[in-house]
Structure 1
C-alpha cells in the first residue's frame, strides 16, 4: 500500500478531520510552519471586523466598559489556563513573550535575595538568553549556561532561577519539566518555563509539576495571528509577593485614580503594563477558543501520529535525512527537524512547490505539525515532494541558494 493510500484511510478515520474546515488554508499549499505562525481561523476576520466596526467604530471609548475591553487580558488568560495546567486566576494574556520573560526573570531575582544566577542552556531560543543578558548588564543577574545533559549538576545554591524552554525551538526536544522543577526547588531556586512551542500542541501541567512561572506566545499553535499577545503564568503561592519591574499604569491597583505613586494591582493583573492591545486579544481569543474546543489531548495524539507517518512516508521513498529531533514521539514536540548542509536551499525549493516549512541556521530544515488543520494526505504529499527535491537536485538552482533575511 502506498503512502497516499494509507493516508486516505487514516484521514477517513480521523476524528479531528472536520476541524480543517475551520481554518483558511491557501489552495495548493501544505503548511508545515504552524509551529512558527499558526493558520488563520475562519472566525477571526469576522470577529475582528465586528470589533473594529461596532465596538470601536460605534462604541468608541464606551466599549472599554460596554464591550468588556478592560477584562479581556484576564479573560483570555483564563481561557489559556486549562491548556497549560493552570488555574484561571494564575494566567494573563499581555505584552510579548520577550517582555514577559523580562518581567518574570526580574521578579524571580527579587524573590531570591543574595542569588543572581539565572541558569539556562546554550542554544535556547535567543530572546530568552538575551533577556538574561540584559539584566546581567544592569548588574542584576548572572547568566549561567549548561548543556542539557549537565543541567541537574549545574543547579546549586547560587541559582536563583532555572529558565528553560519546554520544547526546544530548533529540535523539538522536550525537557523533563517535573524532574527539573523538583531539582531546582530542592536547591532553593525558582523555575520559569517558556511554553512557546508547547501551548496548544502538547499536554502541559504547570501546577502538577509545581512550576513557579511560565510564559508563551499566542501566534504559534494558538493561531492568534502575527505578533499576537503572549501570556504569563504565576503560581498562586507567588502572586502576593510578586514585584514586577515594569510598573505601568495598567498594572496599578487603581489605574484611573491617576496617582503619582505606583501600587500594584492584586493578583495576576499586576503583570500588566501598558494599555492592552484589544484587537490582538480579540484575534487571539478566537484561536484559543478553537484549540480549547478541539482539546490538547486529542491534538497531541494526532500530532504524534502525523509525525510518525511522515517519517514512514520518507522511508517509503528511500529518503535519508539526518533527524536531529528525538526519534521517540514522547520526547519531542510537534515538529521534526533534519540536518543537511544545504537545508536552506532545500527549504526554498520546497516552498516553491507549496510545501512551507522553515530553516534554522546553520543547517536545519524544520517542519512543524499543527494537528488542528493538517491531514495525513498532507504528510504523504510533503514526503513525496521532499523525495523529489532531493532526487532531482532542484535545490541547486541559484534562486534557492541565495539567502533572504526572512524565511
Structure 2
C-alpha cells in the first residue's frame, strides 16, 4: 500500500526551489537523518575550501595577511544584515552572543539614566537571563520577568503590561529556543518605544530561519549566533546589530583597541569609532570569521523569504506526521500550530523525551532534548528535504511504538 505521506514528500521536494543547495553541504553519511541543525548547522563545501585557502595565506603571507583578513567581520556583518533585514554598516561579527548581549545591554542602560528596570521573560535563553541578572545585581537594578507559556512564546500584550516609565531595557528572544514560537518583533518594539525603553533582541534561532525585519520595525539592538541556521561552524563568532542613528550615541562598556578611532596611533585616550566598529573589542577571529562569512553567503543567496517559506513547509509537514503517527504514542506538539508563529524547529513533548532522544540517535536520527520533557526537531531549509522529515519521524515512531527507548536511562546529563 502506498504511503500518502511519502507521495506528499515527493511532491513538495520536487517543487522545492532551494533543493540544489543541499549539494553544497558536506553530508558524510546520508543514512543519518540530521534534525539538529538548529543547534549546529552542517559544513558548507565552500567553507571547507575557504578555510584551506586562508590557512595557505597564513602560511605564505604571515603577518602581511592581516591587510586581507581584517575586514572579514564587517564583510560578514553586511551579509548577515541582508538576512535579518538591516542596512550595511549596522551589523558586525564580534565575540560570542553572551558577550555581545552584555555589551549592548550595558550600553542601553547607560542611555536611559534614571530608569531602573529590565524586562525579560521566564523562558528566555538561560545565558540571557543570567547576564541580565548579573548586570542588574551589579547596578542595583530590578529584572521584571513576564511569564509566557512554554509553548506559546511572548505576546505583545504581555510585554505592554510589564512596561512603565521605570523600564530602561526590554530583552527578549525573537524565536523561543525551546518551542520555536516567534514573537511579534515589530509590535513589541513599538510598545517599548511608546514607554521610552530600548529593546535588545536575541536572534539566535531567527537568523537564517525566519524573516526578522529589524529596519522595518525600527529595532534598536540585536545579537545572534552564526553556528546554527547560518552554518558558520562550531565556535564561529556571533554578530551584533545597532541601528545606525544609535551607534554614535551608545557607549559600550568594554573599551578595546579595535573600537578605537585611530587604532594604530596607540594613543593614551580611548575615542571610539562613530560607527558599528565601536562595539568591537579585540582581534577578530579570522578563520572562524571566514567560516561565518561563507555560511551567511549561502543564506543570503537563497533569500530569507524563500528559506522561511520552506521552513514553514517542513515544520508543517512534520506536524502532520506527528499528529498522525506520534500523538497516539503519547507525544504532543509543544510549538505553535500557526506556521507564521513557528520558527524552523518543531518541539514535541513526551514524558520520556530524554530516553526517546537517545534511542532515536541509536536508530540514526539526530534530534535534541530540552527540559522539561521536550524533543526538538530542527529542519534547516537549505539542506533538509521533506523525505528526510518523513524518514526521521518514521524512525521515531518505531522507537516509540517498540518501547526500545526504555532501554535508555532517564537521566538527562551531558551534551545531547
TM range (shorter): over 0.9
1:86 alignment partner in structure 2: 86
CA contact (8 A) 1:34 1:368 kept: yes
Alignment of 1:88-167 (within 5 A): 88-139=88-139, 141-147=141-147, 148=154, 150-167=158-175
Give the secondary structure class of the aligned counterpart of 2:60.
coil
Q: 1:379 aligns with which of 373, 386, 389?
A: 389
Alignment of 1:6-21 (within 5 A): 6-21=8-23
Query: d(CA) in 2 for partners of 1:180 and 1:18?
Result: 37
Query: d(CA) in 1 for partners of 2:180 and 2:338?
Result: 11
Give the secondary structure class of the aligned counterpart of 1:188.
coil
1:191 alignment partner in structure 2: 199
1:141 CA drift (Å): 3.6
Does residue 182 (structure 1) correspond to residue 190 (structure 2)? The answer is yes
Q: 1:23 aligns with which of 4, 22, 25?
A: 25
Provide the aligned length of Structure 1 versus Structure 2: 403
Does residue 42 (structure 1) correspond to residue 45 (structure 2)? The answer is yes
Q: 2:360 aligns with which of 340, 344, 350?
A: 350
When residues 140 and 44 of structure 1 are mapped into structure 2, their CA distance, relative to the original with a 3 A threshold, is: farther
TM-score w.r.t. the length of structure 2 is 0.94
CA contact (8 A) 1:395 1:401 kept: no
**Cα deviation per residue 1:129-157 (whole Å; 9 max; x = unaligned)?**
11111212212542111124532110111
Does residue 388 (structure 1) correspond to residue 398 (structure 2)? The answer is yes
Query: d(CA) in 2 for partners of 1:219 and 1:379?
Result: 22
Give the secondary structure class of the aligned counterpart of 2:316.
helix
Query: d(CA) in 2 for partners of 1:405 and 1:249?
Result: 38
Q: 1:285 aligns with which of 290, 293, 300?
A: 293
TM-score w.r.t. the length of structure 1 is 0.96
CA contact (8 A) 1:4 1:381 kept: no
**Cα deviation per residue 1:304-324 (whole Å; 9 max; x = unaligned)?**
111111122234436441111
CA contact (8 A) 1:172 1:335 kept: yes
1:334 alignment partner in structure 2: 344
CA contact (8 A) 2:319 2:333 kept: no
CA contact (8 A) 1:132 1:141 kept: no
Does residue 168 (structure 1) correspond to residue 176 (structure 2)? The answer is yes
Give the secondary structure class of the aligned counterpart of 1:208.
helix
1:405 alignment partner in structure 2: 414
1:332 CA drift (Å): 1.2
Q: 1:323 aligns with which of 316, 333, 344?
A: 333
Query: d(CA) in 2 for partners of 1:60 and 1:20?
Result: 35
CA contact (8 A) 1:334 1:370 kept: yes
**Runs of at least 5 residues in structure 1 that lack an aligned partner in the other structure:** none
Q: Name whichever of 21-30 and 244-253 sits farther off.
A: 21-30
When residues 364 and 318 of structure 1 are mapped into structure 2, their CA distance, relative to the original with a 3 A threshold, is: closer
CA contact (8 A) 2:118 2:144 kept: yes
Query: d(CA) in 2 for partners of 1:315 and 1:70?
Result: 50
**Cα deviation per residue 1:342-391 (whole Å; 9 max; x = unaligned)?**
10000111111111110001211011110100001101111211111110
1:6 CA drift (Å): 2.2
2:150 alignment partner in structure 1: none
Give the superposed CA RMSD.
Answer: 1.3
Alignment of 1:227-376 (within 5 A): 227-317=235-325, 319-320=327-328, 321-376=331-386
Give the secondary structure class of the aligned counterpart of 1:87.
coil
Query: d(CA) in 2 for partners of 1:159 and 1:99?
Result: 22
Query: d(CA) in 1 for partners of 2:283 and 2:39?
Result: 26
**Cα deviation per residue 1:265-289 (whole Å; 9 max; x = unaligned)?**
1200001001110011011111011
**Cα deviation per residue 1:380-407 (whole Å; 9 max; x = unaligned)?**
1112111111100000003x53434110
1:225 alignment partner in structure 2: 233
Query: d(CA) in 1 for partners of 2:312 and 2:372?
Result: 26
